[in-house]
Amino acid sequence: MAVSHDDLKQALTFRRFKDGDSKHRPWQEEIFKASWSHKCPTYVHRTPPCQGGCPSGEDIRGWLDIVRGIEKPTGGVPWQEYAFRRSTNANPFPSMMGRVCPAPCEDGCNRNALEDHVGINSVEQYIGDWAIAKGLQFTPGPDTGRKVAVIGGGPAGLAAAYQLRRKGHGVTIFEAYEKLGGMFRYGIPGYRVPRDKLDAEIQRIVDMGVEVRLNTRVGKDVTLEALEAEFGALVWALGAQSGRDLPIPGFKEAPNCVSGVAFLSTFNIGRLQMVSPRVVVVGGGDTSIDVASVARRLGHIADSHDKDLPEHVILGYTAHDVSGSLKRSGATVTLTSLFPVNKMTAAEHEVEDAKREGITILGGVLPLEIICGADGRATAMKLCECTMQGMKPIPKEGTEFTIEGDLFVSAIGQFGDLTGLPGLDNGRGAIDCDRNYQVKGRKGHFVAGDIIRPHLLTTAIGQAAVAAESIDQFLNNQEMSKRPKVDVRHFNLLNKLTEVGLSPAAFKSESSGIEGGLRGTSAANYAVHNFEDRASNDVIPHGRLFLGHFKYALRVRRSEIHISADDVLGNFSERLVALNEVQAKEEAGRCMSCGMCFECDNCVIFCPQEAVKKTPKNQSTTGRYVFTDYTRCIGCHICADVCPTGYIEMGMGE
């Protein structure tokens, strides 16, 4: 749903001065040409890179400005609730995502050009936890009488159900497991996703009037034909619940070689309560870190029986029942990655936590072969050092070595299970779709989430929102809209004016005093003046900001409970300590509000002609804080030069 990283890297700058410039060029060359001024200011709304890089398309700047007190709530709503409503327009899981999202928004934050990004995740977690504590609910839209089937109750399916109910459509979720949550519940350990918070955010969606059919697998328990007959549209949100085997000799044949997806699912269900003495995990991403961290927490039991071997539990042959009461010992856990440790795809802080918890991480190594004993069980893995050419590992000759182990876990990727659903599988365990997330060749079928291509949870949520919009258009027999270049939730000035009772007057041709009423709107109140919305096309880089305005301010970091290798066994407590209200407001205050006025008064103070003025309070709101008297403006550009957010553009006069 976000603008591509390539677009974010483009040099879109219009900047009169470069860092280090201290002298203005000759005024007569800049300001006057004959008897007219060069250019006068207009106010241009653009998308900040945090939003442009958010796959779920949240209006991040918007809800941060609410937290910091720039945009005021209306109707006596607490600012926390106002921020929650703004955030959940795009993403109904602020408590969850504030904890586990790897935050591409923070990578793109323009504040990185000063000292450090804004801790967007930490503020989002505060908002989400506050909403749960206060019991905030969602409101469905007016009933349309139309029904949509959502196949899969994970992040994508739940987000699709949420957005569809907001539009008033009936929704039934078909979930193969006994509980909703998908990868939230079955793919991420509870010490990263507290189950009470997860249950609350799921229940809030169900309480919108969503029907749920659990333990129901489409293609087995209910036919596709039955769904097509009952529902006006279908959303395939199956996720990717099947793990990929290591493509090396011996892995598929050895019973103690399993996938990371199966390992975590069995643990999160509660069946897996111990591991083998020596565990080797192959991966490098967040899933591999989760597997290794869970293995360290579970430990092993020396006097266990053969039926208690982890692979028997993971493969569904048995379950651990009494092992929790027995004496445990720490497991030796090794994680290997094709990439060097500092270039692994896992979040940096997760890697550091893993090391601290006693996990050995070997980077830049390539698995070659599983070595099996006489009984067919894997006893070791043969590897070698490697370098990476893009995504292709190049082995280094003469560097082979082995790692002994009792359980080998492949966490190198996953794919969907489309058994019983002929015609949907593209041959790679995924479903193909167009830009509107409509399944190719299947009218009325839509898709979202990892079943398209495994990616981030926030990506699945963003895709679900677009799919819901497409379904709404499909059910209303409308042509599906072309998606904008910057496909996120944007601040809408007209909506804001309406919210605060400042809607433009109805247009009447005679009201302007000019024949036809199509010109001379500067004195009329039926038009929004000197404002241009380029947010759907432009992401504003830090080069367009006046960075000199911002003071050095260190990030207000969430506290983390760091667990040592000696204390990790049996420790399943949450590691993140949420910000309090004061800290959340302070951290949100570091946001530079890129592309939108945050009412700093620089343009008013520095204008030498007093042409830039504050909008009268009874006419002022977000995006309407200042205006320009063009009868006084001489086009000196000073207001644009001192605008911290890049909101002012010298765009009028040519």
Instruction: Give SS3 for 389.
Output: strand
Domain boundary among 360, 380, 411: 411
320 in the same domain as 172: no
Report DSSP letters for 325-352, one per residue. GS--BPPEEEEEESS-GGG-SS-HHHHH
Q: Which is higher by pLDDT, 528 or 330?
A: 330
Residue 33 pLDDT class (50, 70, 90 cuts): very low
Helix intervals (H) in 390-435: none
366 in the same domain as 432: no
Q: What is the mean pLDDT of residues 616-620?
A: 92
Residues 30 and 637 sit within 8 Å (Cβ to Cβ) = yes
465 in the same domain as 513: no
* Backbone CA torsion sign across 427, 431, 434, 438: positive
pLDDT tens for each residue of 169-208? 999 999 999 999 999 999 999 999 999 999 999 999 999 9
* Predicted local distance difference test score (pLDDT) of residue 412: 96
Instruction: Give SS3 for 542.
Output: helix
Q: What is the mean pLDDT of the chain?
A: 91
> Does 77 fall in a domain?
yes
- Whether 508 has a pLDDT exceeding 90, the answer reads no
123 in the same domain as 43: yes
Residues 231 and 149 sit within 8 Å (Cβ to Cβ) = yes
641 in the same domain as 520: yes
> Does 84 fall in a domain?
yes
What whole-number distance in Å separates Cα of residue 47 and Cα of residue 2?
11
Burial class (CB in 10 A: 0-12, 13-18, 19+), 141: middle
> Does 118 fall in a domain?
yes
> Does 640 fall in a domain?
yes
Residue 13 pLDDT class (50, 70, 90 cuts): very low
CATH code for the domain of 401 = 3.50.50.60
Q: How far is CA 258 from CA 58, 188, 285, 339, 455, in A?
A: 37, 17, 17, 22, 21
164 in the same domain as 129: no
Instruction: Give SS3 for 169.
Output: coil
pTM: 0.90
**Structurally, how many domains does the chain consist of?**
3
353 in the same domain as 264: yes
Residues 285 and 225 sit within 8 Å (Cβ to Cβ) = no
* Predicted local distance difference test score (pLDDT) of residue 505: 84
> Does 80 fall in a domain?
yes
Structure tokens at 190: 């509870």
Domain boundary among 411, 441, 467: 411
* Predicted local distance difference test score (pLDDT) of residue 19: 67
* Predicted local distance difference test score (pLDDT) of residue 34: 38
Residue 61 pLDDT class (50, 70, 90 cuts): very high
What whole-number distance in Å separates Cα of residue 121 and Cα of residue 124?
5
Q: Which is higher by pLDDT, 634 or 78?
A: 78
Q: How far is CA 546 from CA 145, 542, 558, 622, in A?
A: 52, 8, 29, 20
pLDDT tens for each residue of 165-179? 999 999 999 999 999
Instruction: Give SS3 for 378.
Output: strand
Place of tokens 């009325």: 444
Residues 431 and 452 sit within 8 Å (Cβ to Cβ) = yes
Residues 363 and 354 sit within 8 Å (Cβ to Cβ) = no
312 in the same domain as 296: yes
Q: What is the mean pLDDT of residues 420-443?
A: 93
Domain boundary among 385, 411, 437: 411
556 in the same domain as 456: no
Residues 242 and 265 sit within 8 Å (Cβ to Cβ) = no
> Does 140 fall in a domain?
no
- Whether 615 has a pLDDT exceeding 90, the answer reads yes
590 in the same domain as 454: no
Residues 174 and 158 sit within 8 Å (Cβ to Cβ) = no
324 in the same domain as 251: yes
Closest CA to 100 of 519, 458, 364: 458
* Predicted local distance difference test score (pLDDT) of residue 39: 79
Domain coverage including residue 368: 244-411
pLDDT tens for each residue of 365-377? 999 999 999 999 9
In the chain, the percentage of residues whose pLDDT exceeds 90 is 80
Q: What is the mean pLDDT of residues 10-16?
A: 48
> Does 314 fall in a domain?
yes
What whole-number distance in Å separates Cα of residue 514 and Cα of residue 442?
53
Instruction: Give SS3 for 165.
Output: helix
Structure tokens at 193: 């996703």
- Whether 151 has a pLDDT exceeding 50, the answer reads yes
In the chain, the percentage of residues whose pLDDT exceeds 70 is 89
pLDDT tens for each residue of 212-257? 999 999 999 999 999 999 999 999 999 998 999 999 999 999 999 9
259 in the same domain as 398: yes
Q: How far is CA 353 from CA 296, 368, 564, 568, in A?
A: 12, 28, 9, 11
Q: What is the mean pLDDT of residues 316-345?
A: 82
- Report the range of poorest mean pLDDT among 306-315, 385-394, 457-466: 306-315
* Predicted local distance difference test score (pLDDT) of residue 292: 98
pLDDT tens for each residue of 100-111? 999 999 999 999
* Predicted local distance difference test score (pLDDT) of residue 636: 84
> Does 142 fall in a domain?
no
